[in-house]
């Protein structure tokens, strides 16, 4: 061996040791951090919902989780913009007025139907693992789990954000108005502030410990503590960041001073994201998943979203039943849905991941013969313990603070988009001097087989951490077409509950002929295989509880964790509804001719 070769090998080993030491120093920073728990609960039933009735319009519809963002989307449509323009404006505005979930420091998915091409599109602008990440970065030397806080709180929890790049790509392909115009209102609300609603004020109070830990975050969000309600939330640094994005497009975020500040703060505080990570981030156009259910076309997001795959899988099973005859939310109906959900989430635990790194068996999971094989295992009136349900074999806690928005325009273009910081207020980190709240999406990877994430979801090798990989998600933006035109859009926040909430919204409208208000107000159930718990919203009468317990279900009544944002097109009219579960949610159809 030559001396030069020996030196190269030694240098390589030194580099590896330095990287490991760097990462361990990052772990040390957060090991001593507090275990933040929200203070109390925020039950939406105590607030007056912004949505009083179903919105109607002939010329388009916007529905979001905050009434100010809805009005911005409506304004863009009135200025002659299309659904894509309005969706981008809504997304940037939510980053300001809904900071617990709306973001430019996170990522998501968008599903679109384009009226000009009569084609369906989807874009993956999910976060990516930084180049310095590695499979066992959250584990001890013996492969035991180190500390859940490491993947959920602080600088080490963040993946490379994708939102700005995703919006930029959509605008390049479909946008009709000037990019700068789409950020005007977001900049205005960031610079001048907006009034904190009672619901938002209570959310800030609930998470004040998390929001107080890092000084840049504390300075912005705790300024009015404890008197939030009626005060204005002003975000000057975020306004300046948005101005740079407005002027320079994608480069205003991924290069230059914003990228430098993100990289600097990450390096200083033990995070992994570098300037190169930001510069090299690219969203990905992916083929949407398309299936049919009772003569309706389901258009939804494919991996690394797990939502679309398993919504199709569950619909394939359920189309073998007469759900109307079984009866909505009867004991038999809840029993059937719970069993179907168990099988889907069992498959999710093993087979779903980033398709750029893992061969996801989409065709097998969504095959109707496979659905019938599961159907044959289900007997209404019986419950199969989760321990006896295994992921299918083939021959060949996401916090609840995601947010969804839907837009439809008078031209027939439809956008259904879900994006997130992951848990409420993401990692708790605001990048100093930028106003950008960062995600904690690294927790959506599997730290190791058998170790659940913050939502209790299990994963396997398919979703292990690798550099440049995108973590698995439950986000499920979906468009349903009937007779070659929009029937309705649907999507929701809610972590692991997103998939089942979207499923039930589809069943409520198609199988039970509900209007949007009825479909949204119906009680939702959830079962995700592990843990073996059947969750039901709001309340449960004693008779139903006893029947379900008689089937050996472990029943838990929960506060709402989802929020469906829906648009329907029927008889040449658009209808919209903002789910009361998030009181500031609002749909508007006051679109001018």
Rounded Cα distance, 251 and 255, in Å: 5
| Residue 512 sits in the same domain as residue 581 | yes
Task: Report d(CA 106, CA 296) in Å as an integer.
Answer: 32
> 209 and 182 share a domain?
yes
Residue 436 lies in a domain: yes
Residue 315 inside a domain? The answer is yes
Task: Please tell me whether residue 433 adopts helix, strand or coil conformation.
Answer: coil
| Any domain includes 499 | yes
Residue 402 falls in the annotated catalytic set = yes
Put the strands of the sheet holding 555-558 in their side by side order: 525-526, 534-537, 555-558
On whether residue 592 sits in a domain, the answer given is no
Q: CB of 75 within 8 A of CB of 376? A: no
pLDDT of residue 451: 56
Domain that holds residue 362: 289-398+484-587
Residue 30 lies in a domain: no
Query: For residue 388, what are the contacts with CB-CB under 8 A and spacing of at least 6?
Result: none
Same domain, 141 and 185: yes
pLDDT computed for residue 400 by the predictor? 61
- Choosing from 274, 331, 402, 420, the catalytic residue is 402
Round to whole Å and give the CA distance between 200 and 68: 13
Same domain, 335 and 454: no
Question: What CA–CA distance (Å, rounded) separates 155 from 268?
Answer: 10
In this structure, the answer to whether residues 279 and 294 fall within a common structural domain is no
Residue 116 within any structural domain of the chain: no
Same domain, 141 and 195: yes
DSSP letter at 293 equals: E
Q: Which among 529, 492, 486 is positioned nearest to 313, based on CA atoms?
A: 529
Domain count for the chain: 2
Averages of pLDDT over runs of 10 residues in the chain (593 residues) are 45 41 37 50 80 94 98 97 98 98 98 97 98 92 77 96 98 98 98 97 96 98 94 98 98 98 98 98 98 98 96 98 97 97 92 92 96 97 91 51 94 97 96 98 79 54 91 96 97 94 98 97 94 92 92 93 95 95 92 63
Q: CB count, 10 Å around CB of 43? A: 12
Separation of first and last alpha carbons in the chain: 79
């Amino acid at each position: 061996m030559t001396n030069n070769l020996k030196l190269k090998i030694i240098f390589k080993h030194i580099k590896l040791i330095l990287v490991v030491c760097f990462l361990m120093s990052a772990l040390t920073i957060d090991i001593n951090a507090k275990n933040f728990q929200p203070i109390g609960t925020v039950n939406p039933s105590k607030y007056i919902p912004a949505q009083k009735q179903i919105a109607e319009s002939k010329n388009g519809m916007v529905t979001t989780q905050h009434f100010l963002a809805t009005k911005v989307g409506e304004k863009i449509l009135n200025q002659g913009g299309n659904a894509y323009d309005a969706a981008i404006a809504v997304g940037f505005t939510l980053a300001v007025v809904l900071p617990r979930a709306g973001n430019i420091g996170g990522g998501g998915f968008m599903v679109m139907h384009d009226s000009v091409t009569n084609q369906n599109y989807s874009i993956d602008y999910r976060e990516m693992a930084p180049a310095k990440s590695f499979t066992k970065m959250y584990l001890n030397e013996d492969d035991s789990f180190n500390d859940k806080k490491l993947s959920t709180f602080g600088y080490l929890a963040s993946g490379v954000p994708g939102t700005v790049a995703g919006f930029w790509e959509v605008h390049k392909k479909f946008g009709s108005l000037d990019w700068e115009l789409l950020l005007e209102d977001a900049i205005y609300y960031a610079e001048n502030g907006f009034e904190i609603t009672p619901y938002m004020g209570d959310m800030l109070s609930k998470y004040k410990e998390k929001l107080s830990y890092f000084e840049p975050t504390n300075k912005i969000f705790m300024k009015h503590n404890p008197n939030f309600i009626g005060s204005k939330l002003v975000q000057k640094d975020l306004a300046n960041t948005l101005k740079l994005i407005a002027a320079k497009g994608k480069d205003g975020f991924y290069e230059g001073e914003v990228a430098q500040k993100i990289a600097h703060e990450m390096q200083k505080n033990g995070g992994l994201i570098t300037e190169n990570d930001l510069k090299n981030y690219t969203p990905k156009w992916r083929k949407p998943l398309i299936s049919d259910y009772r003569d309706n076309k389901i258009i939804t997001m494919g991996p690394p979203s797990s939502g679309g795959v398993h919504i199709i899988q569950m619909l394939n099973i359920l189309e073998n039943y007469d759900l109307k005859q079984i009866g909505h939310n009867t004991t038999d109906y809840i029993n059937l849905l719970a069993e179907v959900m168990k099988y889907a989430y069992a498959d999710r635990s093993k087979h779903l991941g980033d398709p750029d790194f893992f061969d996801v068996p989409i065709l097998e999971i969504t095959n109707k013969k496979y659905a019938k094989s599961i159907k044959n295992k289900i007997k209404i009136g019986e419950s199969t313990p989760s321990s006896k349900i295994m992921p299918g074999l083939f021959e060949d806690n996401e916090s609840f603070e995601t947010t969804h928005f839907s837009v439809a325009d008078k031209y027939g273009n439809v956008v259904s988009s879900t994006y997130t910081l992951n848990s409420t207020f993401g990692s708790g980190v605001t990048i100093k001097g930028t106003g950008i709240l960062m995600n904690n999406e690294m927790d959506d990877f599997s730290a190791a087989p058998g170790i659940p994430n913050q939502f209790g979801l299990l994963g396997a090798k398919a979703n292990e951490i690798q550099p440049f990989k995108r973590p698995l998600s439950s986000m499920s933006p979906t468009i349903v077409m009937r007779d070659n035109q929009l029937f309705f859009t649907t999507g929701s926040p809610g972590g692991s509950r997103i998939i089942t909430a979207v499923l039930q919204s589809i069943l409520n409208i198609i199988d039970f002929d509900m209007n949007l208000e009825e479909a949204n107000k119906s009680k939702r159930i959830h079962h995700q295989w592990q843990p073996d718990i059947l969750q039901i919203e709001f309340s449960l009468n004693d008779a139903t509880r006893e029947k379900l317990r008689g089937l050996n279900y472990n029943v838990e009544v929960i506060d709402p964790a989802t929020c469906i944002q829906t648009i329907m097109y029927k008889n040449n009219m658009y209808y919209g509804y903002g789910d009361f579960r998030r009181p500031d949610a609002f749909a508007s159809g006051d679109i001018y001719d």
